[in-house]
Copies of this chain bind each other. A is one copy, B any other.
Amino acid sequence: MDTYKSFVATPEDNANSLYPNGDLISQCKVFYRNATLDHFSWGPTANGETHFRQRYFVCDKHWRHRGPIFFYLGNEADVTLYLNNSGLMWENAPRFGALLVFAEHRYYGESKPFVKCKDHMQYLTSEQALADYANLITILKVELDAEHSPVIGFGGSYGGMLAAWMRFKYPHILNGAIAGSAPIWTYLGENPAYDPGSFAKIVTYDASPEAGSAANCIPNAQKAWQALFDLGESQDGRTQIRKHMRLCDHAPMNGPADAAALVEWAGSAWDYLAMGNFPYPSPYILNGAGLLPTFPVRVACSHLAGDFGSDEALLSGMADAIGVFYNYSGSNTTCYDFAAAVNPETDEDGTFWDYQYCTENTMPFAKNGAPDDMFWSAPFDKKGTEEACQARWGVTPRWYWPNVEWGGRNLETLTNVVFSNGLYDPWHGGGVLRNLSDSVVAVIIPDGAHHLDLMFSNPQDTPSVKAARRTELWHIQKWINEAEKLRPWP
């Protein structure tokens, strides 16, 4: 436990800089392996490629040879994002003598199969990614002379879904999984059904006094959207929008459709702020480009706390509120261009995730507006989603496939998964919120946002996230004990 302090900052240090835990990447070795491009078909592949270079990091400072392997199942970003943020793995490697492995998801970061991936997206599926991880773990264990080491999967968000799915589909390879904020029950065909409006409702909860936000926030937001729609109808109104919402000169505002696009863009700031509604400043939701403040939804809501007498003041308040996300540094943007994403990295990741969304991860979303949520009325539109996916990618979602492939709510045979969910996190509406068995347990963090429990510990951590981590560690130890009972050597 002593060596641990030498590379992980103390909790007191953690809030001080963007990545307060030192240069974690330099504590790992980076590897690139030849991974099979298509595990499930054998034909001629695009460009004649049969393999791709998959990146992964191995961090063995605390590994006791043949001890456990903590394996992060990379999700839809450069894997260094997860390497830098998965404090739960780093902080507990010493006590378990664990090897840390961070594996990058195909098509993200540096694990891109093609020079122009966008022309050959067809191999970007969750099943292919899990097969990559299954092969990687198998080969790695042979290389490390650690074929019987227990392997614990970690993942947050889509990575958490992958971790749970991998335990479901490859239980011989993953001894257990910590699935942080994994909305595995977010598809059409769930029984009982998933509520497509739940995401918006939970964002709204974050903006409510119950979650610490200003009382006027929700009604003011509702008024602001209505004002934007109304003003968008006239040339005069659109001029007002441009001014009070501080749009860049080149941002389009030529008709109601532009106003609607602005509303969509402004609304999504709230989605991200809710996901990142952490009890201390965090770079996570900004992909490391900057820091969101402590409980950013409360900060955003503080700009909508007043009784606004005019549209001018109301829109100006909304502009300030979404600035908590879009102008995170206070000076990274001087005007809003709602056609641009927050930074190029997020932009590309978002595009690739959109492909996954349009193929097999098509989750239904709806906004209802008052009284259900702080947004406007935008019902779930199955046909519209299909048309948009056809237009963007030439694919039609297989809406019901996830339940066939991943089991939906019928997980009676699943074992050894902790599903953690923060109630500030809008994704928890599709999460596992109750124990399914002795070994498939739900951990609820009432004041937690998107997989807070996976992050580094912090002096601002609330008792609930500390308790969540203790529960997770208890299960990890149990899975390791189980695995070691089955193993032929010490």
Contacts and interface: CB of A to CB of B under 8 A. Distances in A.
Interface of A: 36, 38-44, 46, 120-125, 127-128, 131, 134-135, 138, 147, 169-173, 191, 359, 395, 398, 400-401, 403-405, 407-408, 410-413, 415, 486
B411 A172 contact: yes
A366 to B, nearest CB: 24
A15 B122 CA distance: 53
A121 B42 CA distance: 8
A404 B134 contact: yes
A123 B41 contact: yes
A359 B50 CA distance: 14
A105 to B, nearest CB: 15
B171 A413 contact: yes
Contacts of A134: 404-405
B404 A138 contact: yes
A40 B128 contact: yes
A407 B43 contact: no
B359 A42 contact: yes
Contacts of A171: 407, 412-413
A456 to B, nearest CB: 32
Contact of A398 (B36, B122, B407): B36
A172 B410 contact: yes
Nearest to A189: B138
Contacts of A128: 40-41
B413 A172 contact: yes
Contact of A40 (B40, B135, B486): B40
Given A38-B40, A42-B395, 6 more contacts: A42-B122, A43-B123, A131-B404, A138-B400, A169-B169, A170-B407
A-B CB proximity, top 9 nearest:
A43-B122, A172-B410, A172-B407, A40-B40, A171-B413, A42-B122, A41-B122, A40-B127, A134-B404
A147 B400 CA distance: 14
A28 to B, nearest CB: 24
A360 to B, nearest CB: 8
Contacts of A400: 138
A38 B41 contact: yes
A123 B124 CA distance: 17
A428 to B, nearest CB: 22
B121 A172 contact: no
A301 to B, nearest CB: 41
Contacts of A410: 172
Given A134-B404, A405-B131, A41 B41 contact: yes
Given A134-B405, A172-B408, A40 B39 contact: yes
B412 A413 contact: no
Nearest to A124: B42
13 contacts: A36-B398, A39-B40, A40-B127, A41-B122, A41-B123, A42-B124, A43-B46, A138-B403, A138-B404, A147-B191, A170-B407, A171-B407, A171-B413
Contacts of A173: 404
Given A134-B404, A404-B138, A40 B411 contact: no
User: In this complex, which of A41, A398, A410 has the most chain B Cβ atoms within 10 angstroms of its Cβ?
Assistant: A41
Nearest to A393: B42
Given A404-B138, A407-B172, A40 B42 contact: no
B404 A120 contact: no
Contacts of A46: 43
User: In this complex, which of A40, A191, A413 has the most chain B Cβ atoms within 10 angstroms of its Cβ?
Assistant: A40
B404 A135 contact: yes
Contact of A413 (B39, B43, B405, B415): B415
Contacts of A413: 171-172, 413, 415
A388 to B, nearest CB: 16
A121 B41 CA distance: 9
Contacts of A120: 43
A126 to B, nearest CB: 9
A354 to B, nearest CB: 13
Given A40-B39, A42-B359, A404-B173, A412 B486 contact: yes
User: In this complex, which of A121, A124, A401 has the most chain B Cβ atoms within 10 angstroms of its Cβ?
Assistant: A401
A324 B91 CA distance: 70
